[in-house]
Amino acid sequence: MMCLADVEGKKLLIVMTTGPEDPEKTYAPFYTAALSAAMEVDTSMYFLMHAPKLLKNGSAEQVKLKKGGTLKQFINMALEGGVKFYACEESLRSLCEIDPADVIEGVKIVGSSTLADLALEADSVLSF
């Protein structure tokens, strides 16, 4: 069993590919990110494929959770906890057809090579 001292200063990367078309799979990555950040783990999320759709202004409010509430609550929890959000520009523009100006505040738009950089720097990588 790990204690808090074992995780402080560690880096976690969460790679997210799931978008609003599969709402049951969207909340856990944000919850996990917020939890790890609260444990003082340097936490980043990288969004590609359909996942950038969740970052479009107004989109997360439309993703309803079975037990009530919306995905926006989990996104806010992660951002307020200090989780860094990176969106793949290629996925955002080409696949999701979203203008970077339409993305929520706090998201850094980056190239696809950033994923490799983040993964190589991380102590652990989770994929959703």
pLDDT in tens, 87-107: 999 999 999 999 999 999 999
The one-letter code for the residue type at 112 is S
- Give SS3 for 99: coil
Per-residue pLDDT reduced to its tens digit, 43-66: 999 999 999 999 999 999 999 887
Tokens at residue 37, please? 């950040």
Entry pTM: 0.92
Domain positions in the chain:
11-127
Q: To 10 degrees, the CA torsion angle through 26, 28, 30, 34? A: 170
Domain 11-127 CATH class label: alpha beta
What pLDDT sits at residue 17?
A: 97
Chain centroid to CA 97? 19
